[in-house]
Structures are given as structure tokens and as C-alpha cells.
Amino acid sequence: MATSYFLIAVFLALASSQAIASDPSPLQDFCVADKDSPVKVNGFVCKDPMHVTADDFFKAAKLDEPRNTKGKVGSNVTLINVMQLAGLNTLGISLARIDFAPLGENPPHTHPRATEILTVLEGTLYVGFVTSNPNNTLFTKVLHKGDVFVFPEGLIHFQFNPVHDKPAVALAALSSQNPGVITIANAVFGSKPPISDDVLTKAFQVEKGTIDWLQAQFWENNHY
């Protein structure tokens, strides 16, 4: 009997850990984010439903309009998450339009809280992701208009427009109201304060001067 109780306890602990690891699930029809509330929770507390209007579920995002891709990496990510659309709170989903200049890229990055599914609206994209240690297997595909590709949660991935004379546009859905993004180069070489040269020279097996040069670059944020 004691063994049975122990197994049940272990199962419940595992189930609880999985629930805590994902976005909070809705326990009512909706939970519009109350961003002005002083209460701090994982996500946002609910706005009084008596004060909720259709505008809480709406944003005139103009996602049909091209974005500026003249930055260093040649891409522009327009993210619609709970910070822009309060009605997404507890719904576990967000959306992004990604514009690419010719030869532009969305550099290697990861979403710590979300799986991403992407479809190409215009142009061509070379996309891929890398699995975790120890294999670090690279999966890549060339996508054309109408194609779909999925990037598993937490894995490093990228999108690149290989065409030198035509832009590309993609639409991505992410399985979190606030998926987060960590651009690898920005995090490693553009952190504030900077990571110690001793750490990075050892990690990348290069000279200190190389690390100093990389840290001196302007690491652009292409998310808007």
C-alpha cells in the first residue's frame, strides 16, 4: 500500500511539473491581462470581466504592410504577444510577421517558452534548427511560398532568404502568450555587462583579440 501511495505521489509531482512548465491554462472563458494591476503573478492577473470590451481582443497591427528591413541582419520581426494584445493572456499563443530583405536573415535564436510553426507568404527561405547536446544535429529545409516548417520548443533555429534580388515574408505562430527570444550572438557577445574574455576565449578556442572585436560590434535587435 505504501508503494502505491508513493507511485501516485510521484505521478502527481510529474504531472504538476509539466503543468507549471507551460503557459497557465484558462479556468474561464478568458482572462484579459490587467497590466496596471500591482499584483505580480506568472503572467498577468485578470481584468474585471465586466470591464472587458471587444478592443481587448483586437489590435490594428497592419500585418499586411511590409516592414523596414534595412538593418544589419536584413530582417524585421513584428511580434504580437500578450504585451501588445491583452486578450492573449492565458491563451498560450502569439503571432509574428517576419520580413526579409534579399539575403536577409533572422539570426540563430531560441524561444525558451514556445514551439514555432512558420509558413512562407512570399519568396523563399532556407530554415533550420539544431538539436541539443551531445548530437547537435542540424535539420534544414528550403521553403517556398505556402510551405510550412516547425521549430521545436527551446531549440536554436534560424531563417535566411537565399535570394539576392527578392524579399521574403513569413508568418509564424508560437505556443506561448510570451514566447521570449534569445538571439545567440547578441546574448553571448552583446551582454551587459560583457561576459569575461577568459570565459569566451576558452569556450570558442580563439584569441582574446577576436573576442574583443566581436564584443565591440553592434548587435542589432531585429524584434519590434
- Specify the pLDDT at position 219: 80
Angle between the N-to-C axes of helices 208-215 and 197-204, in degrees from 0 to 180, rounded to the nearest 10: 110
Q: Where are the domains of the chain?
A: 55-180, 187-216
Half-sphere exposure of 108 (CA within 13 A, CB side): 12
pLDDT at 44 over 60: yes
Confidence of residue 220 (pLDDT cuts 50, 70, 90): confident
Find out whether 157 is annotated in a ligand binding site. yes
pLDDT band for position 83 (cuts 50, 70, 90)? very high
Alpha carbon distance 91, 171 (integer Å): 19
Q: Report whether 106 belongs to an annotated binding site.
A: yes
C-alpha cell at 178: 510570451
The whole-angstrom separation of Cα 173 and Cα 157 is: 15
**CATH architecture of residue range(s) 55-180:** Sandwich (2.60)
Question: What is the distance between the alpha carbons of residues 165 and 101, in angstroms, rounded to a whole number?
Answer: 9
How far, in Å, CA of 122 to CA of 216, rounded? 35
Which whole-number Å values give the CA distances from 70 to 103, 127, 131, 184, 206, in the listed order? 11, 21, 31, 21, 31
Please tell me whether the peptide bond between 194 and the residue prior to it is cis, using omega within 30 degrees of 0.
no
User: pTM of this prediction?
Assistant: 0.87
Does 51 belong to an annotated binding site?
no
* pLDDT tens figures, 90-133: 999 999 999 999 999 999 999 999 999 999 999 999 999 999 99
Q: What is the pLDDT of residue 84?
A: 96
**Residue 116 labelled as part of a binding site:** yes
Q: Are the C-beta atoms of 46 and 32 separated by less than 8 Å?
A: yes
What integer is the mean pLDDT of 167-192? 96
C-alpha distance from residue 17 to each of 12, 62, 176, 215 (Å): 9, 38, 17, 38
Assign 172 to helix, strand or coil.
strand
What is the SS3 assignment for 12-68? HHHHHHHHHHCCCCCCCCCCCECCCCCCCCCCCCECCHHHCCHHHHCCCCCCCCCCC
Parallel, antiparallel or unpaired: strands 94-100 and 168-174: antiparallel
pLDDT-derived band at 16 (thresholds 50, 70, 90) equals very low
pLDDT at 148 over 50: yes
Give the three-state DSSP class for 97: strand
pLDDT higher than 90, residue 19? no
Contact 104, 74 (CB under 8 A): yes
> Is 109 annotated in some ligand binding site?
yes
Supply φ then ψ for residue 140, to 5 degrees. -135, 160
**How much is the mean pLDDT over the chain?**
90
Cα angle for residues 31, 32, 35 (degrees, 5° grid): 125
